[in-house]
Amino acid sequence: MNFHDTEHEASYRQKAINFLEQHAERKVIGQPGISSCLSPQALLKAAKEWQALKADHDFACISWSKEWGGPGGSAIESVIFAQEEQQFDIPEGIFQVSLGVCMPSIIKLGSEELKNRFVKPALRGEEIWCQLFSEPAAGSDLAGIRTRAESTSSGWVVNGQKVWTSNAHLSDFGLLLTRTDPTVVKHSGLTMFWVDMQTPGIEVRPINQISGQSGFNEVYFTDVKIPDSQRISDVGGGWKAALGTLATERLAIGGAKGADCRELVALASQLPCDTGTVLKDPQFRQKLADWYVNSEGINLTRMRALTTLSRGGTPGPEMSIAKLVMAEQLQQLCDYAMDLQAEFGIINSPDISEQAAVFQKGWLKAPGSRIAGGTDEILMNVIAERVLGMPGEIRVDKNRPFNELPVGI
Amino acid sequence: MDFDFTEDQKHLQQEARRFLSANCGTARVRQVLDEPDTPFDAELWTAMADLGWQGAILPEAYGGSGMGATDLCAIAEELGRAVNPTPFASSVYAFAEAVNLLGSEQQKSRILPHIASGHQIGCIATAEGAGRPDLECAFVDSSITGRKVPVTDGDVADWAIALANDSHGESLYLIELKRHGVSTSTLPTLDPTRSCAEIKFAGASAAPLGEAGSGKALLQKIHDRAAVFVAFEQLGGAEAALATAQDYAQQRYAFGRAIGSFQAVKHKLARIYVANQIARSNCYFGAWALESQSEELPRAAAAARIAATRAFQLAASEMIEIFGGIGTTWETDCHLFYRRAKQLSLFLGPINMWKERLAAEIEKQWAHADSHGGNL
Ligand SMILES: Cc1cc2nc3c(=O)[nH]c(=O)nc-3n(C[C@H](O)[C@H](O)[C@H](O)COP(=O)(O)OP(=O)(O)OC[C@H]3O[C@@H](n4cnc5c(N)ncnc54)[C@H](O)[C@@H]3O)c2cc1C
């Protein structure tokens, strides 16, 4: 076992570091990054510029083939770049859905024409995509969506509502899952399209999150006309297409970012308590050890998956644990970090709070991290059923037409 | 990046698994469990020695096979999976490693060949009662006096390494146990598939091991090395417990369906899977640090130890819950895992001690940079 880069990997890493050092600043513990300092508009602009710069230097979507405007690098190279990039203070959080979730589906499902039109501008950050899947009545049970697409002589007409659509307000296009046939069992009546977010009849309404930000939206569809050429699955084949999207989504999300052990140690080494600083408090040290083992465990599990890749294999299911572990940890660790600060923990201000309020921010973000991209419960079901081979749920919705299923709120 | 067992190591591991499923099935483990006069499976011990396992990583000059530490980790995982009822952990991971690391040329050539061949057994005697009392064992006038309790495998061992006070402070000593001045008595424990004793030294002759006065630090080194191998045993045990529970959950029916279809059961299994993956990754890091003689070994060993202890204890206790009533009986194998998980969690020191140790290592790694507002 070793962690050595091969000669090629080492020179690639050096190239990445050179690029990053030339164009960005390294993160500093205890100081707010630019992603949390900029206004939403300024962040968007900065993120687009950063993405274009990366594309110019062959560091955007590194493993995408040349055919689609990527540099055609290896999976290892893209991980090496990500490892280095995360140490720099760069504008984050804009392209995750666009490039991590939507484009892989377009590349997999779209026609040549579609790919020629869309992949390159998305890769350069010139166009942004959103994922129009979840609805008020269908999240975990995604196949329960109700947004209707009806076939007419001139194409499709879409009516309904999507919700929790990250970045819809910034997006140019969307990947849209609809119901085209409510009279068959629910998984069989779905169809996937792409849509231009400027199409008449689409209305985006921001939702205020508990963090105070508005990263996601409601998206209303009222008699939205979509030509059949924008259909990217078979009619009734939307579920299979969506499963592919969800699989990439879980990989793209990976571990939840935010405060972790490093920030906790920085905090504890400055907080006074009876034993000197909190860092010397035995109870603190026991908890720190537990969390550290998890974080390292996830990092190292990623190394194992990489090893499989570099040996030419397909990584197993190990990485499915990353989001489950890290989102839960984010919540607990931030909560504890605030307890350590006593009453002061309640203050939420980058200027006044300890460590530029990373713990307060993480605490507000964590509940969403535990839900986005599959809730804790759904992820545990997935592990138990797909990895450990447990039988599926007893289902009451499998053999009945969608329009005869019981509905709740 | 090459962070996994090599093909050769995987092959070695498969061979070990095949051998152990033929020679160390739970029926064999139970013989040791059920017969109070059988401290360990001597036949298995000899068969293991025939395969060269006891001397796997010892130098060839001392009768070993000169394999790498990671090779032994691969074997250790299988020994854990099989809940092996032998003094392997004491003799190989702790004692032999310690002698090889600290012993004089003469000590090594006198002792190690017998350990490698399985003809002799070594153990490590550190505890002196409940909690962490002051060290009382003392080395005076070239002999040792005092009491060590409990000593895993102390009743079957030929050799022990013990910590004692002397004129230099605290030092390590090598003691031949089947000699004048040593008396051992077997103690009942939670895991009768492993042996345990009280050892009394009354003027037993003892030879210094390693630098005088550095006993504590050296003992820590011994523990770090042993902890990585033990973590692999714990990982193997956790994987076996998960596999057994998985199997049972698919076969046992309640309310007209397999209990594995109930979410509460699924989520228990998923949590075990997660803990096992985290343990595996940390264990591999420990193996890497050991094999590459990295300065990061203390941190890697503690992390592996913590993750693997957590995983095995979770798997072993939840396994019984998943089995229901039958899991609480002597006849089912669940308690073999439950017992061994606890035994291994205390061997080499309890988990809170390892967490403290990890915290100290993290502090070394980070606190300095952070106090200067350092970079990531
Ligand atoms: C920050 C954030 C960003 C998001 N971005 C997007 C996006 O860009 N595009 C998009 O389409 N969606 C997005 N989502 C939606 C997300 O995918 C859903 O919220 C999620 O799948 C859960 O669905 P739900 O909200 O309807 O909750 P529900 O499915 O109603 O779940 C409610 C509770 O019931 C539990 N539950 C449901 N079913 C089961 C079951 N079978 N077994 C056990 N427990 C169950 C859940 O675990 C949860 O605890 C986002 C969500 C968040 C929080």
- Is B278–A297 a contact, with Cβ atoms under 8 angstroms apart? yes
- Residues A217 and A118 occupy one common structural domain: no
- Is A296–B303 a contact, with Cβ atoms under 8 angstroms apart? yes
- Residues A221 and A263 occupy one common structural domain: no
Q: Name the phi and psi angles at A289, rounded to 5.
A: -60, -45
pLDDT at A290 over 70: yes
Name residues 99-158 of chain B within 8 A of A (Cβ): none
Specify the DSSP class assigned to residue B127.
Answer: -
Mutate to test the pocket of ligand 1, among A130, A140, A167, A204 (most ligand atoms within 8 A of CB): A140
Tell me how far the alpha carbon of residue A140 lies from the centroid of ligand 1, in angstroms: 5
- Residues A243 and A259 occupy one common structural domain: no
- Is the CB of A134 within 6 Å of ligand 1? yes
Q: How many CB pairs under 8 A join A and B?
A: 193
- Tell the CATH superfamily of the B7-93 domain: Acyl-CoA dehydrogenase/oxidase, N-terminal domain (1.10.540.10)
Q: B122: which strand partners?
A: B159
Does residue A400 fall inside a structural domain? no
Residue in the structure block whose two tokens are 């229901």: B324
- Residues A49 and A11 occupy one common structural domain: yes
Domain with CATH 1.10.540.10 in chain B: 7-93
Burial code (b: 16+ CB inside 10 Å, e: under 16) for B192-229 equals bbbbbbbbbbeebbbbbbbeeebbeebbebbbbbbbbb
pLDDT at A399 over 80: yes
Question: In terms of pLDDT, which residue wins out, A35 or A25?
Answer: A25
Give the end-to-end CA distance of chain B in Å, rounded to a whole number: 22
- Is the CB of A140 within 6 Å of ligand 1? yes
pLDDT of residue B114: 98
Judged by average pLDDT, the poorest of A307-311, A357-361, A378-382, B262-266 is: A307-311
- Is B277–A265 a contact, with Cβ atoms under 8 angstroms apart? no
Q: The tokens of A326 are what? A: 């890290």
Domain with CATH 2.40.110.10 in chain B: 123-212
Model's pTM, two decimal places? 0.95
Q: Which atom of ligand 1 is nearest to the CA of A142?
A: 21
Q: Of the candidates A219, A247, A275, which is a domain's last residue?
A: A247
- Is A377–B263 a contact, with Cβ atoms under 8 angstroms apart? yes
Q: B243 with B334: CB under 8 angstroms? A: no
Q: Distance of CA A223 to CAs A172, A175, A197, Å?
A: 19, 17, 14
Tell me how far the alpha carbon of residue A283 lies from the centroid of ligand 1, in angstroms: 35
- Residues A236 and A293 occupy one common structural domain: no
pLDDT digits (tens, 9 = 90+) for A188-217: 999 999 999 999 999 999 999 998 888 899
Residue A331: CA count within 13 A, CB half-sphere: 13
- Is B282–A293 a contact, with Cβ atoms under 8 angstroms apart? yes
Q: Which atom of ligand 1 is nearest to the CA of A101?
A: 8
Q: Of B4, B242, B271, which is closest to A304 when you measure between CB atoms?
A: B4
- Is A296–B358 a contact, with Cβ atoms under 8 angstroms apart? no
- Residues A378 and A312 occupy one common structural domain: yes
Task: Please state, as a whole number, how many other Cβ atoms lie within 10 Å of the Cβ of residue A6.
Answer: 12
Mutate to test the pocket of ligand 1, among A94, A128, A164 (most ligand atoms within 8 A of CB): A164
pLDDT digits (tens, 9 = 90+) for A351-387: 999 999 999 999 999 999 999 989 999 999 999 999 9
Residue nearest to ligand 1 atom 5, measured at CA? A166
Q: A339 with A317: CB under 8 angstroms? A: no
CA A14 to chain CA mean position, Å: 27
CA B149 to chain CA mean position, Å: 17
pLDDT at B375 over 50: no
- For chain A, give the number of residues: 409
- Residues A263 and A368 occupy one common structural domain: yes
Domain residues for the domain of A290 are 255-387
pLDDT at B370 over 50: no
Average pLDDT over residues A218-227: 98
State the CATH number of the domain containing residue A12. Answer: 1.10.540.10
Average pLDDT over residues A14-39: 90
Does residue A119 fall inside a structural domain? yes
Topology annotation, domain B123-212: Butyryl-CoA Dehydrogenase, subunit A; domain 2 (2.40.110)
Average pLDDT over residues A87-111: 92
- Is the CB of A133 within 6 Å of ligand 1? yes
Q: A323 with A254: CB under 8 angstroms? A: yes
pLDDT at A309 over 80: no
Q: Is A394 on the interface with B (CB under 8 A)?
A: yes
State the CATH number of the domain containing residue A317. Answer: 1.20.140.10
- Is A269–B367 a contact, with Cβ atoms under 8 angstroms apart? yes
- Residues A327 and A377 occupy one common structural domain: yes
- Is the CB of A378 within 6 Å of ligand 1? yes
Does residue A311 fall inside a structural domain? yes
**Closest-approach residue (CA) in chain B for A79:** B1
pLDDT of residue A130: 97
Domain with CATH 1.20.140.10 in chain B: 216-371
* Nearest residue to A286 via CA among B362, B342, B228, B154: B362
- Residues A155 and A203 occupy one common structural domain: yes
- Residues A16 and A46 occupy one common structural domain: yes
Q: How many folded domains does chain A comprise?
A: 3
Percent of chain A with pLDDT over 70: 98
**Closest-approach residue (CA) in chain A for B244:** A388
Tell me how far the alpha carbon of residue B110 lies from the centroid of ligand 1, in angstroms: 66
Does residue A30 fall inside a structural domain? yes
Question: Under CATH, to which class is B216-371 assigned?
Answer: mainly alpha
Average pLDDT over residues A293-298: 96
pLDDT of residue B367: 64
pLDDT of residue A6: 86
pLDDT digits (tens, 9 = 90+) for B51-70: 999 999 999 999 999 999 99
Q: Is B273 on the interface with A (CB under 8 A)?
A: yes
Q: Is B278 on the interface with A (CB under 8 A)?
A: yes
Q: Is B363 on the interface with A (CB under 8 A)?
A: yes
- Please calculate the CA angle A44-A206-A191 and round it to the nearest 5 degrees: 95
Does residue A397 fall inside a structural domain? no
Q: What is the DSSP string of A35-97?
A: HHHS-HHHHHHHHHHHHHHHHHTT-SSTTS-GGGTS----HHHHHHHHHHHTTB----SSSHH
Q: Of the candidates A123, A140, A165, which is a domain's last residue?
A: A123
A379 CB neighbours in chain B (<8 A) are 270
Q: Of the candidates A91, A107, A123, which is a domain's last residue?
A: A123
A262 CB neighbours in chain B (<8 A) are 366, 370, 376
Residue B325 burial (CB < 10 Å; 0-12/13-18/19+)?
Answer: exposed
Name residues 231-270 of chain B within 8 A of A (Cβ): 242, 246, 249-250, 257-258, 260-261, 263, 265-267, 269-270
Average pLDDT over residues B27-42: 95
pLDDT at A91 over 80: yes
Q: What is the CA radius of gyration of chain A?
A: 23
- Residues A118 and A143 occupy one common structural domain: no
d(CA A278, CA A71): 48
Assign residue A329 a region (left: φ > 0; alpha: ψ between -120 and 50; beta: otherwise).
alpha
Q: Which atom of ligand 1 is nearest to the CA of A141?
A: 29
Average pLDDT over residues B243-259: 97
pLDDT of residue B371: 44
Q: Is A145 on the interface with B (CB under 8 A)?
A: no
d(CA B41, CA B194): 10
pLDDT at A320 over 90: no
pLDDT digits (tens, 9 = 90+) for B183-202: 999 999 999 999 999 999 99
- Is the CB of A129 within 6 Å of ligand 1? no
Q: Name the phi and psi angles at B65, rounded to 5.
A: -105, -5
Q: Which of B6, B70, B273, B277 to mutate to test the interface with A (most CBs of A within 10 A)?
A: B277
Instruction: Give chain A's mean pLDDT.
Output: 92
Q: B207: which strand partners?
A: B174
Q: The tokens of A350 are what? A: 């980058």
